[in-house]
Amino acid sequence: MDKLNPIVIAEQAQDAHCRTLALIEGLDAEQLMGPLLATVNPLRWEIGHAAYFYEYWVLCHHLQQPSIREDSDDLYDSITIAHDDRWNLALPELSETLNYMQTVLENIKQCLAGGEDARRDYLALYAVFHHDMHNEAYTYTRQTLNYPTPDYGGDSSNNYQAGALPGDVQIPGGRFKLGATAEDGFVFDNEKWAHEVDIKPFGIAKAAVSNADFLKFVEAGGYNNKQYWLDEGWKWREKSNLAHPVYWRNTSSGWDIKQFDQWNPMPVNAAIIHVSWFEAQAYCRWAGRRLPGEAEWEVAASAEASLDGKKLSASKRHFPWGDEAPRADQANLDGYALGTVDVAAFPAGDSAFGCRQMIGNVWEWTEDSFNPYPGFKADMYQDYSQPLFGITKVLRGGAWPTRGRMIRNTWRTYYGPDRNDVFAGFRTCALNE
């Protein structure tokens, strides 16, 4: 395991800070609070919370520094402040919130310049990744609340019109170590630790399901046919009253997709996004396919075949393409494309078996519920994983706004099966014979 570099962590903290400022740029006071919804936080609270996380764990908890604000625990502690109460707090105005955020950042950068401290560096990087996850949440909040497209300096002019990528790859069975090892560097508690599982041979799609693929299901009446839906999923569909994905509409000139506050013609070969696990399951039933298991997904992304191709080898990649950090030609990450791209784009990011875009573009639903690995022990932030075990579904791979510095093959995120507001799509597997 390489030592964490405090200079790099300080640069990443600054970058996350700038991304937050870009994501709230142009929003007025009313938009920065927004309506009380179960799926979002008030942005003015959330940006204070992200800064508080650095302060609480690095400055106060580890370095024993006094709190910058005496009321910070009462304002920003997500464990003790119920979700619905966050709209009713006596929150500081935006200017004061941003001053707090800036002060925390400067203190973090100063402490990271203060010699070697492995625990400090671990906690600071944890806080950066926590900040990155909130920046992704701010991005989907802008979509949920119909706010304008954010501008953080990216160039979305290259729309990666690469077309479709049909077909499956065949993956041999064997023993596989699911999860992360200590040699992988920084990992979260739910990735610990790698443990052997048995994998049966399976076929998995080279690419995620595209808009064109999913449109066939919609136009075949899939949303109105109960036989394709799990009982719980059908109840969700009836309650939501959807006849197609939430951000689609059918017009006289064809299908449109809503991106933030704009309706645009459907990019047919782009990966489907903003669909729930229930919708993914219904599509699979209609198509005579299935979702991959979590272990199958990780095998397809990270494993290699033995020399004779008949079983899995003992080697495992950190990313689908190898062990080097993502390049711009390997994955749709970091937000700059401002949406999903064609499923055949980024061939340089293929896995050993030929699966494309397993990192970036869309988070991919798996079949499995989110549960701990054997011997699980919570990290210092005990509520990061534990409260969601057994009640959420696992997604893998990251999406177009996910930061490339944090994603990897073993990363697990998790949402309830009803969530169609997050940046989620899926790929499918052939039915087991």
Q: Answer yes or no: do 432 and 284 share one domain.
A: yes
Give the model confidence (pLDDT) of 218-259 as tens digits.
999 999 999 999 999 999 999 999 999 999 999 999 999 999
Which ranges constitute the DSSP H helices of 174-230? 211-219
Instruction: Specify the number of domains making up the chain.
Output: 2
Question: For residue 268, is pLDDT > 70?
Answer: yes
**Domain extent for 80:** 6-144
Q: Looking at the structure, tell me whether residues 235 and 335 fall in a common domain.
A: yes
Where does 209-288 show beta strands of DSSP type E?
248-251, 254-259, 262-265
Q: Tell me if residue 205 falls in helix, strand or coil.
A: strand
pLDDT tens per residue, range 324-383 = 999 999 999 999 999 999 999 999 999 999 999 999 999 999 999 999 999 999 999 999
Residue ending a domain, choose from 123, 144, 165:
144
pLDDT beyond 90 at 3: no
- Please report the pLDDT score of residue 151 as a whole number: 87
pLDDT score of 166 more than 80: yes
Average pLDDT over residues 275-303: 98
Structure tokens at 52: 């508080």
Are 165 and 295 found together in one domain? yes
Which candidate, 130, 187, 94, places its Cα nearest to that of 16? 130
Q: Which of 116, 144, 172 is the last residue of a domain?
A: 144
Q: What is the CATH number of the domain that holds 136?
A: 1.20.120.450
> Is residue 1 included in any domain, yes or no?
no
DSSP string, 119-171: HHHHHHHHHHHHHHHHHHHHHHHHHHTTPPPP-SS--------------EEEE
In this structure, how many other beta carbons lie within 10 angstroms of the beta carbon of residue 141? 22
Residue 346 lies in a domain: yes
In a shared domain, residues 36 and 138: yes
Rounded Cα–Cα distance for residues 422 and 140 (Å): 6
Instruction: For residues 136 and 174, state if they share a domain.
Output: no
Does pLDDT of 79 surpass 90? yes
My answer on whether 126 and 186 are in the same domain is no
- From 85, 118, 144, the end of a domain falls on 144
Q: Give the helix/strand (H/E) hosting 410.
A: none
CATH number, domain with residue 189: 3.90.1580.10
Q: Are residues 172 and 83 in the same domain?
A: no
CB 365 within 8 A of CB 428: no
Structural tokens at position 127: 């806080």
